[in-house]
Chains A and B, each alone.
Chain A
Amino acid sequence: KNQVEQSPQSLIILEGKNCTLQCNYTVSPFSNLRWYKQDTGRGPVSLTIMTFSENTKSNGRYTATLDADTKQSSLHITASQLSDSASYICVVSAWDDMRFGAGTRLTVKP
C-alpha cells in the first residue's frame, strides 16, 4: 500500500536553531518527492522537488535530501526564523498516484 509518513508530528525550536524533518514512504514506483510549506489557512507552497536521480536539493535555507534506496527524505532548515512557523508536507508521487504525508507542524519561538 502506498503511504507517506512524516515525523515528528510537531516540533518547537528557538529562532536561529536548525532542525530536520523526516519523511518515509512506500510509494512505488517512485516518480518524485516534493516538500511543501503551508502557513495556517493558506495554500501550500512548493519548496523542493526531487526525482529519483537527485539526492539533495536546496532552496535558500531549506535543504531536502532523498535516499531512494531506503525510501527516506529529510528537510533541513538552517538558522530558523519566526516566519518558518508552518506545516511542512511531504508528497510522494508514483506515475499515476500521489500520496500526501500528514505534515510536521513547526513552531519557531523567539
Chain B
Amino acid sequence: DSGVTQTPKHLITATGQRVTLRCSPRSGDLSVYWYQQSLDQGLQFLIQYYNGEERAKGNILERFSAQQFPDLHSELNLSSLELGDSALYFCASSPRGQGALNEQFFGPGTRLTVL
C-alpha cells in the first residue's frame, strides 16, 4: 500500500458525460501527478500540482482539467467524454515539486469505461 488513495475504483459512463476522479496523496506529500494509461499502452503524464499550484503539464487534453485543494487532495475532471478516454487513470504523489530523488508513489488507479 503506497499511502495514495484514489476514488472511485471503477467508473462506467456514457459518451458526452463528465466525471471527476479524486486522489488523496500520502501524508506530507506536496505534489500530485495524474497519468493516463490506455489498454496495453504506456503511462502518459497529464499534469502535476505542487502545493496547490500547477507545476508541469504533459499531454492533457483541453477537455480535461485538474486542481489541487488546500488540504492537498486533487481532482481530475474529464468532460465531453469520448470512447477513447477509456483508460486507467493513476494519481501519484511525492514529497517535493522536483529534484533528483523526489520519488513518486502511485495510487491503485481508477478504471474509466466510456460506453
Contact = CB atoms under 8 A, between A and B. Distances in A.
Question: For this complex, into which size category does the number of interface residues on chain B fall?
Answer: 20 to 34
Contacts of A102: 41-42
A43 B107 contact: yes
B107 A89 contact: no
Given A42-B108, A43-B108, A96-B98, A103 B103 contact: no
Given A31-B100, A51-B100, A100-B45, A43 B56 contact: no
Contact of A101 (B2, B42, B103, B107): B42
Nearest to A100: B43
Given A31-B100, A32-B100, A43-B2, A89 B42 contact: yes
Contacts of B2: 43, 45
Contacts of B109: 41-43
A44 B101 contact: no
Interface in B86-115: 88, 90, 92, 98-101, 103-109, 111
Contacts of B44: 100
Contacts of A34: 103
A22 to B, nearest CB: 16
B42 A43 contact: no
Interface string A20-47: 0000000000011010000001111110
- Going nearest first, the 10 A-B pairs with the smallest beta carbon separation are A43-B106, A102-B42, A32-B100, A51-B100, A100-B43, A44-B106, A31-B100, A43-B90, A100-B42, A43-B108
